[in-house]
């Protein structure tokens, strides 16, 4: 069984890797500048026909911008759900494998996994509406 310190070390490494995709373990700011920054972190997932990268949030049309903002907000929701998963996991590590703790972790983990699937589906929709394709990070 992983100790709480081992679990925290693993989480720290995972979070560090996710920072390049916009993950932040702090309450997000909603300024226009912050939304632009968060959209720019998601841009590598999208390519226009011919390989050009999608434009800045402020350069998008009203409908396209609304869809892109929804994508940013979905990513933020994933951050909150990841934090909830981590808290439930830490309760398991501290309190043992009590059924209520396992159930709570399972419920929040299921919600997180469903949100990840919805984010991926939405990513394809964003790519289609913006006239491009979704790419696989690192490919």
- Of 2-6, 10-14, 23-27, 126-130, give the range with the top mean pLDDT: 126-130
| Low-confidence winner among 57-61, 90-94, 99-103, 111-115 (lowest mean pLDDT) | 57-61
Could you give the 3-state DSSP secondary structure of residue 61?
coil
pLDDT at 133 over 90: no
pTM: predicted TM-score of the whole model, two decimal places: 0.70
94-117 CB burial, b ≥16 within 10 A, e <16? eeeeeeebeebbeebeeebeebee
Residue among 21, 9, 131, 130 at smallest CA distance from 74: 21
pLDDT > 70: percent of the chain: 76
Give residue limits of the domains in the chain. 61-132
- Residue 134: what pLDDT? 62
């Amino acid at each position: 069984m992983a100790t709480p310190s081992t679990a925290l070390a693993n989480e720290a490494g995972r979070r560090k890797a996710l920072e390049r995709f916009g993950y932040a373990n702090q309450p997000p700011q909603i300024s226009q500048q912050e939304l632009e920054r968060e959209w720019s972190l998601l841009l590598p997932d999208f390519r226009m026909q011919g390989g050009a990268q999608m434009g800045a949030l402020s350069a998008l049309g009203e409908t396209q911008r609304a869809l892109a903002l929804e994508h940013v907000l979905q990513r933020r929701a994933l951050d909150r759900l990841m934090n909830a998963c981590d808290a439930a996991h830490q309760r398991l590590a501290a309190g043992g494998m009590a059924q209520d703790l396992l159930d709570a972790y399972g419920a929040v983990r299921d919600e997180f996994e469903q949100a990840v699937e919805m984010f991926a589906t939405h990513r394809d929709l964003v790519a289609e509406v913006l006239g491009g394709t979704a790419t696989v990070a690192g490919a």
